[in-house]
Amino acid sequence: MTKKNSKITVFGLGHIGLPTAVLFANSGLKVTGVDINKETIELVNKGISPVVEPGLDELLNRAVLDGKLVATEDGVAASKSSNVMIVVVPTPVDKFKKSDLTAIKSACQSISKGLKIDDLVIIESTIPPKTCEDVVIPILENSGLKAGEDFGVACTPERALPNNTIYEMTHNARVIGGINKESADKAVLLYENITNGKIIKVKNLITAEMVKLMENTYRDTNIALSNELAMICEELGIDAVDAIDAANHHPRVNIHIPGPGVGGHCLSIDPYFIVEMAEEKGVDSTLIKNARNVNEKMPQHVAEMVENTLKEAGKQIKKSKIGVLGVAYKGNVADARETPAEPLIKLLKEKGAEVYAHDPYTSRDVIESFDAKPVSMKDVLNSDIVVLITDHGEYKNITPDMIVNKLFICTRPILNPAKFKEKGVLFKGIGRI
Ligand X SMILES: NC(=O)c1ccc[n+]([C@@H]2O[C@H](COP(=O)([O-])OP(=O)(O)OC[C@H]3O[C@@H](n4cnc5c(N)ncnc54)[C@H](O)[C@@H]3O)[C@@H](O)[C@H]2O)c1
Q: Which candidate in 201, 266, 321, 428 is catalytic?
A: 266
How many Å apart are CA 53 and CA 330, to the nearest integer? 14
- Write down the least CB distance from residue 360 to ligand X, Å: 20
Closest chain position to ligand X (CB) = 14
Q: Smaller CB distance to ligand X: residue 156 or 320?
A: 156
Minimum distance from residue 273 beta carbon to ligand X (Å): 10
Name beta bridge partners: 408.
386, 427
d(CA 195, CA 218): 25
Query: Quick one: 92 or 360, whose CB is closer to ligand X?
Result: 92
Q: Which of 186, 212, 330, 351 is catalytic?
A: 212
Nearer to ligand X, 334 or 402 (CB): 334
CB proximity list for 175: less than 8 A, separation 6 or greater: 156, 157, 200, 202, 208, 211, 212
85 vs 325 by CB, closer to ligand X: 85
**Share in percent of the chain as helix, strand, coil (round to 5):** 45, 15, 40
Helix (H, G, I), strand (E, B) or coil at 151: strand
Residue-by-residue DSSP string for 24-69: HHHTT-EEEEE-S-HHHHHHHHTT--SS--TTHHHHHHHHHHTT-E
Closest distance to ligand X from the beta carbon of 405 (Å)? 36
CB of 87 or CB of 230, closer to ligand X = 87
Beta bridge partners of 62: none
Q: Is 212 labeled as catalytic in the residue annotation? A: yes
Amino acid at 403: I
Task: Please say if 266 is a catalytic residue.
Answer: yes
Alpha helix segments (H runs only) across 102-159: 102-114, 131, 137-140
DSSP 197-228: S-EEE-SSHHHHHHHHHHHHHHHHHHHHHHHH
- Positions in the binding site for ligand X (CB under 6 A): 11-17, 34-37, 40, 88-91, 103, 106-107, 125-126, 158-160, 162, 265-266
Residue 408 Cβ vs ligand X, minimum distance, rounded to whole Å:
30
Closest separation between CB of residue 34 and ligand X, Å? 5
Positions annotated as catalytic residues are: 212, 266
